[in-house]
Amino acid sequence: MADDGITNSPPLFENVNITSEDNSDLFVSARQDIQEEPTNKITNGTTIAEPADVSKISLSDSRSNLETVPINNGSEHKSAEKVEFENGDTFIDITIGESQKMGEGMGAYVAYRIVTKTNMTIFKRREFAVTRRFSDFLGLHDKLTEKYLKVGTIIPPAPEKSVIGMTKIKMGSSTENAQNNGGDFVERRRAALERYLKRTAQHPVLIIDPDFRDFLENDVELPKATSTSALSGAGVMRLFNKVGETVNKITYKMDETDPWFEDKLTHIEGLETQLRKLHTNVEAMVTYRRELAHLTNGVSRSAALLSSCEDHSSLSRALTYLADTEEKVESLHLDQANTDFYILCELLKDYIGLLGAVRDAFHERTKLFQHWQHSQQMLAKKREAKAKFELQNRNDKLDQANTEVIEWESKVERGQESFDKISQMIKKEMDRFERCRIHDFKVMFIKYLENHLKHQAQLVKYWEEFLPEAKSIA
């Protein structure tokens, strides 16, 4: 509807035509759609009459229940808090148990059995199980992101793909061989998928989403998520979209009017940097513990061989006990390495990904601000054009100019409304995120120290049992 003399719009995304209606645009995911619906409709029309008591949702088998804050606005927010405290017995527990290799060759994949137990009324049964493959998880994440990220919801990230790990599984000729080649990879992915589902179920909005409930409850084969394939057309488009988004994040600097967002973004960047450093050091510690276990095994074997060559009976017996003790110590070192990895290292990795999801929500707010500013600049141009037509007595163009001014005034109003709503939502989401983060780290540190003390106490016990044998050498 623009005039011939008004063709230069302010630069937003140089590679994206925002006003185009062509749905085949390669960067369609970067287009700034104005949110006309109020935020209280993000639940897909589902009334939160009995929301999940998310304070009872566990994130791991031995983890305490997480405290969370509902993010709904207005009266829904208050009623959700009220129901949460009243229904203290509401719970949902999601576990991924056995996994099974399906198919052979490059078409093989691993299927995971998901078992859910709950007393929430939004589900049809109290206990149910489904079988899902890894691409199903990625498809679920894409659906949730498409629906909720644009309103400022922090979407827990799905586990990353691993080409090397899956190649080991695909090259295996049987389930046993696959376990030998990629058993550790399968277990790590299983644990990561379980944590992803539990974090999603912890969210008071995502848990009532129909796609998420169907994923957990309906034991039917889901449509193949071809868009999750890196070599598919959708995968290539997604790659280009990410490049465009990355360039936009780097080149565009938002004129922030709310200091809260500046402070919070600085805090997130600093926290992410430190978590990455800690994660790197914990990974190195896990590697060193496993190397120590390997060297301890060498000491055990050498002591056993030496005891068989020793003529002195009491010394030979002491060497035999030393070999047995070192073998037990080796097992302890391996257990402690696994503790370091699954309790400490994996949680740090999860939160690095979660901070990336937080940054994505902040970027959605920036994109809405860009669209709002673009609408304001276009409105100014349309008003200038209208004034010019009035001075020139161009009545044939004046009606169209009036219509365009009204149209862009409406877009500016909706843009501001959408920007204000996403700002409010992000603040509520961040409040909930910080509460969960603090609680998660508290639980993690306590569990880690308890396991560490248990291992050290067992280590002391082993050497105390060996001490009499050493003293008995005549």
Classify residue 257: in a domain, yes or no.
no
Classify residue 18: in a domain, yes or no.
no
**pLDDT value, residue 409:** 95
CATH number at residue 393: 1.20.1270.60
Task: Based on the fold, state whether residues 174 and 302 are members of the same structural domain.
Answer: no
What torsion, rounded to 10 degrees, do the Cα atoms 387, 391, 395, 398 define?
0
Classify residue 15: in a domain, yes or no.
no
**pLDDT value, residue 102:** 81
Strand (E) or helix (H) holding 101? strand 92-102
Please state, in angstroms and rounded to a whole number, the distance separating the CA atoms of residues 474 and 235: 73
Classify residue 164: in a domain, yes or no.
yes
**pLDDT value, residue 114:** 96
pLDDT at 393 over 70: yes
The listed range with the strongest mean pLDDT (49-63, 150-164, 181-195, 321-335) is 321-335
Task: Based on the fold, state whether residues 206 and 288 are members of the same structural domain.
Answer: no
Classify residue 436: in a domain, yes or no.
yes
Please state, in angstroms and rounded to a whole number, the distance separating the CA atoms of residues 145 and 357: 10
Classify residue 23: in a domain, yes or no.
no
What is the b/e burial string over 224-236, where b = at least 16 CB atoms within 10 angstroms of the residue's CB? ebeebeeeeeeee
pLDDT at 246 over 70: no
Please state, in angstroms and rounded to a whole number, the distance separating the CA atoms of residues 336 and 287: 11
Please state, in angstroms and rounded to a whole number, the distance separating the CA atoms of residues 225 and 234: 10
Q: Which domain holds residue 160?
A: 29-223
Classify residue 14: in a domain, yes or no.
no
Class of residue 237 by CB neighbours under 10 A (exposed 0-12, middle 13-18, buried 19+): middle
Class of residue 86 by CB neighbours under 10 A (exposed 0-12, middle 13-18, buried 19+): exposed
Q: Which of 223, 243, 264 represents a domain boundary (last residue)?
A: 223
Task: Based on the fold, state whether residues 176 and 48 are members of the same structural domain.
Answer: yes
**In this structure, which amino acid lies at residue 141?**
H
Task: Based on the fold, state whether residues 165 and 285 are members of the same structural domain.
Answer: no
Task: Based on the fold, state whether residues 454 and 310 are members of the same structural domain.
Answer: yes
Mean of pLDDT values over 366-395: 92
Task: Based on the fold, state whether residues 301 and 377 are members of the same structural domain.
Answer: yes
Class of residue 440 by CB neighbours under 10 A (exposed 0-12, middle 13-18, buried 19+): buried
Lowest-confidence pick of 129-133, 231-235, 255-259, 352-356: 231-235
Classify residue 246: in a domain, yes or no.
no
Task: Based on the fold, state whether residues 339 and 458 are members of the same structural domain.
Answer: yes
Q: Which residues pair with residue 341 across a beta bridge?
A: none
Mean of pLDDT values over 128-152: 94
Beta carbons of 369 and 419 less than 8 angstroms apart: yes
**Is the pTM higher than 0.85?**
no
Please state, in angstroms and rounded to a whole number, the distance separating the CA atoms of residues 306 and 298: 12
Please state, in angstroms and rounded to a whole number, the distance separating the CA atoms of residues 348 and 305: 42
Task: Based on the fold, state whether residues 455 and 311 are members of the same structural domain.
Answer: yes
Residues 46-80: pLDDT tens digits?
333 343 443 333 333 333 333 333 333 333 333 33
pLDDT at 193 over 70: yes
Count of domains observed in the chain: 2
Task: Based on the fold, state whether residues 219 and 288 are members of the same structural domain.
Answer: no
**pLDDT value, residue 224:** 72
Task: Based on the fold, state whether residues 67 and 188 are members of the same structural domain.
Answer: yes
Please state, in angstroms and rounded to a whole number, the distance separating the CA atoms of residues 385 and 187: 64
